[in-house]
Amino acid sequence: MAMAAEAIPGMLTARIAVVTGGRRGIGAAIARALAARGARIAIVDLHDADETVDAIAAAGGEARAFRADVSDEDQVGAVRDAVHAAFGPIDILVNDAAVNHNGGFEETDAATYHRVLGINLHSQFHLCKAFVPDMRAKRAGRIINLSSGTALSPGGPPLFAYRVSKAGILGLTFALAGELGEHGITVNAVAPGFTHTPAVDEAIARGDFPPDIVEAMTAHQLIKRPSRPEDVAALVAFLASDEAGFITGKFITADGGSALAP
């Protein structure tokens, strides 16, 4: 049974949403936020996402997890078939699956470059190819692609492949918005700033990030607190709603004002 959305009655009731990368971090927060508004959630992740599914169920929502490498077109096709069997045609697609690589151009080999682009960028193409027909048939749909503030900024850590992939998402978003608007489908890109997630803590533990990076990045924001996955999830939930039905082809940041900070 779909979760009742008491604060915003019926906002996403009876909608079917696919969220990639929903095992933890921003993706898990997005899955929970959409479920809280009444959507039924299909989480697609390379790893077991049962913790997110259980959290949604404990709150009264409905979610199922599907394991797949989203950079593989055949696996995405198989997931589409499984989601259709479980839920039927979808209404909302959130492309959040991503990996990072800490290295500049000189330190990035071809295999790493193609792996990062495959998961971060090409997966979004595969998922759209798989699920856009559902939305075209309904003449309605929402696609939200997760990009990054690094897409438009050459500064910061040496994240060559990651930065290229996130910039490519902007081109994909703009091109899709141009072609799909006439079918009632909106396509937008959300760009989180530096968000404190379990992946950040792991990168600190590995030595990829300095131990004070959360404090340093927070100090660079206009809003002086760490960014949380829920901050990004709230924006995605709005873009998935009927209230955002006239917003498409946009690159929207959720970064606490870091792009404007001196």
The string of DSSP codes covering 90-114 is: -SEEEE-------B-TTT--HHHHH
On whether residue 3 sits in a domain, the answer given is no
Q: What domain count does the chain have?
A: 1
Q: Is 162 a catalytic residue?
A: yes
In a domain, 128, yes or no: yes
The answer for residues whose C-beta is within 8 angstroms of residue 245's C-beta and 6 or more apart is 186
pLDDT in tens, 164-198: 999 999 999 999 999 999 999 999 999 998 888 88
Most confident of 10-24, 52-66, 192-206, 215-229: 52-66
Sorting pLDDT into bands at 50, 70 and 90, what band is 262?
A: low
Q: Which domain holds residue 204?
A: 16-254
User: Which pTM was predicted?
Assistant: 0.91
Mean model confidence pLDDT for the chain: 91
Residue 80 lies in a domain: yes
The larger pLDDT score, comparing residue 47 to residue 2, is at 47
Domain-located, residue 5: no
- List the single range of 72-76, 98-102, 120-124 with lowest mean pLDDT: 98-102
Catalytic residue, candidates 66, 131, 160, 162 = 162
CB 246 within 8 A of CB 181: no
Quick one: which of 133, 123, 115, 144 has its CA closest to 68? 123
- 86 inside domain: yes
Sorted by sequence, the CB contacts under 8 Å of residue 97 that are 6+ apart come out as 20, 21, 27, 44, 45, 46, 70, 119, 120, 123
> Is 1 a domain residue?
no
Is the pLDDT assigned to residue 6 strictly greater than 60? no
Do the domain assignments include residue 140? yes
Per-residue pLDDT reduced to its tens digit, 125-151: 999 999 999 999 999 999 999 999 888
Instruction: Please name the amino acid found at residue 197.
Output: T
Contacts of 193 (CB under 8 A, 6+ apart): 149, 217, 221, 227, 253, 254, 255, 256, 258, 259
Whole-angstrom Cα distance, residue 163 to residue 20? 19
Tell me the CATH number at 233.
3.40.50.720
Residue 9 domain-assigned?
no
Give residue 5's pLDDT. Answer: 40
- Give residue 176's identity as a one-letter amino acid code: L
